[in-house]
């Protein structure tokens, strides 16, 4: 599931290929989570350029050459944003092929899960794929974007504002499970189910502990490890457990470093005990009963 490290990987990839690209035409296919409606969006985007790619939590923000307009992408559970340049015969007769790069997504694009196609200049194409159609595409003004960010996104792990004191204050008065607290995007932006479980394992804290029950030393560890794990995951280009791929259709490598996520029934890599799976905050939750107290 695309969380902060996955969206950041896509953002960095797209930044390499799409800065300065201008929209030619767009197609929306059997997909409702688009605002404004597809025909208006297509007309608006035509000729506009991509000037910057930003991110807040799991939200990808495309700044456009139109003043006061941003195109937002949220991948939710199964969204993918894949860049491709069409095969093109060069002056010398050589053929430019992207086949090796499209193989990771299982063949040619668009595919049956392609919900939007953005055709850009220089034979560049951006495909928005989403099996479950939970993701969304939204064109917003400066004011709308400011409100969205202000109302829904707390500081993210690498921000200065995500200090130890901030985390301590969040937890002090909450009886909700610590996992629910660190998953709440309004409190900390960017963690999802994978990195929440991994951070709590690394900090040796049971996910169902009431947040207010955490000791200072545990909060210190959790604060440090959230930051460290998110950084490591970005370095590894994210985690591909099911559907996530980067902007070139390739898988993330952090799956090789997972300690507990989806490892229920397997042996703990630290103590050799058996990893458990329970439900916390409505999510499948993986932890080691021996290591995590």
- Bin 252: left if φ > 0, else alpha if -120 < ψ < 50, else beta: beta
Among 67, 92, 272, 282, binds DNA (CB under 7 A): 282
- Which listed residue (245, 281, 288, 291) binds DNA by CB under 7 A? 281
* Contact characters 84-113, DNA, x per CB under 7 A: ----------------------------x-
CB nearer DNA, residue 16 or residue 279: 279
Q: With CB under 7 A as the contact rule, which of the stretches 121-129, 213-221, 229-237, 277-285 interacts with DNA?
A: 277-285
Rg (CA), the chain: 21
Residue 275 is a binding residue for DNA (CB under 7 A): no
273 φψ region: left (φ > 0), alpha (ψ -120 to 50), beta (else):
beta
Scanning residues 198 to 257, which ones bind DNA (CB under 7 A)?
none
User: Site mask, DNA, residues 109-128, x = CB under 7 A?
Assistant: ---x----------------
Name, in order, each residue with C-beta under 8 angstroms of 189's C-beta and a sequence gap of 6 or more. Answer: 4, 56, 57, 58, 153, 154, 155, 156
Residue span binding DNA (CB under 7 A) among the ranges 8-16, 35-43, 191-199, 222-230: 191-199
CA 231 from chain centre, in angstroms, equals 13
Dist CA 29 CA 140 (whole Å): 21
Q: How far apart are the first and last CA of the chain?
A: 27
Please enumerate in sequence order all residues whose Cβ is within 8 A of that of 175, keeping only pairs 6 or more positions apart, or say none.
210, 211, 212
Judged by CB under 7 A, the residue of 74, 138, 206, 237 near DNA is 74
Find the part of the chain contacting DNA (CB under 7 A) among 37-45, 83-91, 137-145, 169-177.
Answer: 169-177
The CA-CA-CA angle for residues 140, 130, 72, to 5°, reads: 15
Residues found near DNA in the complex (CB under 7 A): 1-3, 32, 57-59, 74, 76-77, 112, 131-134, 152, 174-177, 180, 183, 185, 192-194, 261-262, 277, 281-284
């Amino acid at each position: 599931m695309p969380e902060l490290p996955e969206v950041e990987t896509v953002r960095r990839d797209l930044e390499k290929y799409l800065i300065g690209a201008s929209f030619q035409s767009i197609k929306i296919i059997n997909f409702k989570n688009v605002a404004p409606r597809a025909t208006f969006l297509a007309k608006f985007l035509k000729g506009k350029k991509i000037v910057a790619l930003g991110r807040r939590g799991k939200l990808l923000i495309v700044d456009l050459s139109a003043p006061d307009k941003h195109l937002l992408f949220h991948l939710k559970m199964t969204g993918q944003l894949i860049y491709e340049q069409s095969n093109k015969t060069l002056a010398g007769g050589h053929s430019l092929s992207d086949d090796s790069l499209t193989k990771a997504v299982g063949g040619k694009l668009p595919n049956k899960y392609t919900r939007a196609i953005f055709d850009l200049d220089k034979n560049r194409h951006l495909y928005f794929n989403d099996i479950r159609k939970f993701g969304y595409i939204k064109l917003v003004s400066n004011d709308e974007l400011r409100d969205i960010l202000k109302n829904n996104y707390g500081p993210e792990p690498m921000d200065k504002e995500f200090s130890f004191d901030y985390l301590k204050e969040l937890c002090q008065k909450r009886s909700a499970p610590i996992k629910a607290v660190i998953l709440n995007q309004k409190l900390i932006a960017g963690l999802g189910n994978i990195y929440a479980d991994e951070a709590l394992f690394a900090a040796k804290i049971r996910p169902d502990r009431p947040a207010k029950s955490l000791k200072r030393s545990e909060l210190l560890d959790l604060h440090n490890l959230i930051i460290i794990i998110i950084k490591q995951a970005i370095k590894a280009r994210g985690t591909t457990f099911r559907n996530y791929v980067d902007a070139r259709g390739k898988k993330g490598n952090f799956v090789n470093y997972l300690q507990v996520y989806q490892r229920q029934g397997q042996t703990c890599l630290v103590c050799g005990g058996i990893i458990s799976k329970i439900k916390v905050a409505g999510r499948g939750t993986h932890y080691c009963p021996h290591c995590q107290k």
